[in-house]
Amino acid sequence: MTYNPEQRAAILRGLQVHKIHVRKHALARVPRALARQFAHPWAPVEELIRYFGLFPDPLLSFWLDHPAGHVVLTARESGYEPGEVVEGQRRLAGVAYIPLGALKGQGEHPLLYIAHMFDHLLGCDGVADGIWLSEGGGYLPLWRDVGRRLQRQFALGYGSTEAARADPRRYFAEGWVAYWKDRRGLRVQDPGLESILRTTVFDAAFWRRVYSS
């Protein structure tokens, strides 16, 4: 899996078309001051994609090709739904709901929801009630190794918040956000988690090893 800039751009366009959705009338249902920060109805999608800079190409390709794993940008609704939902005329599985305000620094970081989505997909291949990666899951042998490492690291209690210390899913998601915002800070606060993220989910070479056979 070696990509050039044109191929990466094609993957991102595919994600915009097939994986990232803006709920109908979402911009009309947020405060006017927030809506004015988006130049056009698809601007929220462009804003979200700007957060993908650290994502290796094989991660993006995996996401595009997977039948589950969607993002719906909403006026206020947030969270991650691992099962199937009806969204407009579509049936979607594994949906991260991200409120538009999150793209402008309000509330939770948008990558928190993306992290939950990948935690689920990599843990059990998107099975609605499956074991997530952060809980020790892993739908392929190398991902199971990562899941076991995450489980051991979570047990050490390095989570930066009470929620992260209590819930492995939250621990993984907050670590994902911290890696994006301040990787050096994460390395100081939780070097084990920084190492896991750097050498697995954010490492193109690791993805190539997983899917080389």
Helix 57-65 and helix 110-124: axis angle, to 10°? 70
Task: Give the model confidence (pLDDT) of 55-108 as tens digits.
Answer: 999 999 999 999 999 999 999 999 999 999 999 889 999 999 999 999 999 999
- In this predicted structure, what is the pLDDT of residue 190? 98
- In this predicted structure, what is the pLDDT of residue 213? 58
- SS3 (DSSP) at 139: coil
What is the Cα–Cα distance from 146 to 3, expressed in whole angstroms? 24
- In this predicted structure, what is the pLDDT of residue 2? 52
69, 126 contact by CB (below 8 A): yes
22, 73 contact by CB (below 8 A): yes
132: which residues sit within 8 A by CB, 6+ positions away? 119, 120, 123, 124, 168, 169, 172
Name residue, tokens 């094609």: 10
Task: Give the model confidence (pLDDT) of 153-188 as tens digits.
Answer: 999 999 999 999 999 999 999 999 999 999 999 999
What is the Cα–Cα distance from 126 to 124, expressed in whole angstroms? 5
CATH for the 5-210 domain, from 1.10.3120, 3.30.2390, 3.30.420, 3.40.390: 3.40.390
Tokens of 33: 């001051």
Residue-range domain boundaries for the chain: 5-210
